[in-house]
Amino acid sequence: MESKKTVLVSGGAGYIGSHTAVELINAGYEVVIIDNLSNSEESAVEGVRKITGKDVPFEIVDTCDKEALRKVFEKYGFDTVIHFAAYKAVGESMAEPLKYYSNNLVSFMNIVEMMKEFNRPNILFSSSATVYGEADELPVTEDTPRKPATSPYGNTKQMSEDILHDCCRAYEGMYGIALRYFNPIGAHPSALIGELPRGVPNNLVPFVTQTAAGIRECLSVFGNDYDTPDGTCLRDYIDVVDLAKAHVAAVNRMVSDKMEAKYEIFNVGTGNPVSVLELLTTFEKVNNLKLPYKIVDRRPGDVTAVWADTAKANDVLGWKAERTLGETLKSAWEWEKRVRGL
């Protein structure tokens, strides 16, 4: 395997990792997936293989296990790692902070340490718009100051960004990119891979699709008294395939030695604020169904509005979100139907 053309994808059986693996392969990269399946199933890797027709190598590895990780580095030649492997439930992180600090930080530091030990240059890290908190200016640019994290999960993203920045500055030959995702939604058009939340979903779109499928009785809209046009919160919902393509653009930049600094940050969103009610109405319209929902109290911790200024990703990465909200919400429903056998 040619090292520049091979990418290690940690957490590649997960939602965003599996879609990214597909787009990397479509772009001509070889992909090696590792995952401990703590929040995913091997069927996602099968989905990647089916879509791409490639026998993608997959190993069950916990990235917190340094020795197991070292074996992966010994076995495969790759220049670039995309590190998705982390826990991501904000609420759970409030209840079990240590679980989040130990998994998300240890796993990331192990990756960075192995990259250094094996002289592998490029680290792409999954960060989040959560680092901006309730921003003073909208849309947020990459230079908008981060607010103190309001959850241990958010804190692990801020700390990991800082760890990556420090390590890229300190270690010759190490380059890092942090992609700050806004709200990833939707599924691959084949409906062979998508989001597979365990238990009651925390995020809006899986709750919407499960309600449409009859698994949940009624969707709760958390507050309609926000200072926004229709009173519900505004977010920047980014299609998961578009998001996956942003990773390919970032990897292209790294492997072609085009980085202008050793550590770079990009917002990955559409640049369009969408309210909860707008999203629900669009979902109903494109899928031709009615969704039972009720307005309830605000959810503690929710910010009123956040959306991305995407100029940097557009100009520097040459990447732009392409799928419409309607197309994305259709894909989310197609995926839910396939999973439920509807």
User: Catalytic amino acids?
Assistant: 153
Which 119-148 residues touch ligand WQD, going by CB under 6 A? 128, 130
Instruction: Name the one range near ligand WQD by CB under 6 A: 28-36, 56-64, 201-209, 259-267.
Output: 201-209
Q: Which residue from 7, 15, 187, 247 is in contact with ligand NAD, where contact means CB under 6 A?
A: 15
Q: Determine if 133 is a binding residue for ligand NAD (CB under 6 A).
A: no
Q: Do the Cβ atoms of 231 and 219 come closer than 8 Å?
A: no
Nearest to 329 by CA among 273, 287, 278, 290: 287
Residue 2 CA to residue 13 CA, distance in Å, equals 23
Instruction: Name the one range near ligand NAD by CB under 6 A: 86-94, 169-177, 294-302, 311-319.
Output: 86-94
Phi-psi domain of 183 (left: phi exceeds 0; alpha: psi -120 through 50; beta: other): beta
Q: Determine if 304 is a binding residue for ligand WQD (CB under 6 A).
A: no
Q: Do the Cβ atoms of 204 and 276 come closer than 8 Å?
A: yes
Residue 157 CA to residue 180 CA, distance in Å, equals 9
Q: Determine if 63 is a binding residue for ligand WQD (CB under 6 A).
A: no
| Nearest distance, CB of residue 90 and ligand WQD, angstroms | 5
Residue 130 or 160: the one with the smaller Cβ distance to ligand WQD is 130
Q: Which residue from 25, 48, 85, 306 is in contact with ligand NAD, where contact means CB under 6 A?
A: 85
Nearest to 118 by CA among 161, 162, 71: 71
Binding-residue total with ligand NAD (CB under 6 A): 26
Q: What are the φ and ψ backbone dihedral angles of 243, each rounded to 5 degrees?
A: -60, -45
| Nearest distance, CB of residue 2 and ligand NAD, angstroms | 25
In the list ligand WQD, ligand NAD, none, the entry touching 11 (Cβ below 5 to 8 angstroms by class) is: ligand NAD
Q: Do the Cβ atoms of 218 and 293 come closer than 8 Å?
A: yes
Residue 168 or 178: the one with the smaller Cβ distance to ligand NAD is 178
Q: Determine if 204 is a binding residue for ligand WQD (CB under 6 A).
A: yes
Residue 138 CA to residue 158 CA, distance in Å, equals 20
Q: What DSSP character marks residue 314?
A: I
Burial of 278 (0-12, 13-18, 19+ CB in 10 A): middle
Sort strands 175-181 and 263-268 into parallel, antiparallel or unpaired: parallel
Q: Determine if 158 is a binding residue for ligand WQD (CB under 6 A).
A: no
Q: Do the Cβ atoms of 21 and 44 come closer than 8 Å?
A: no
Which 217-236 residues touch ligand WQD, going by CB under 6 A? 219-222, 233, 235
Beta bridge partners of 58: 33
Residue 96 or 231: the one with the smaller Cβ distance to ligand NAD is 96
Binding site for ligand NAD (CB under 6 A): 11, 13-17, 35-40, 62-64, 84-88, 103, 107, 126, 128, 181, 184
Binding site for ligand WQD (CB under 6 A): 88, 90, 128, 130, 183, 202-204, 207, 219-222, 233, 235, 276, 299, 302
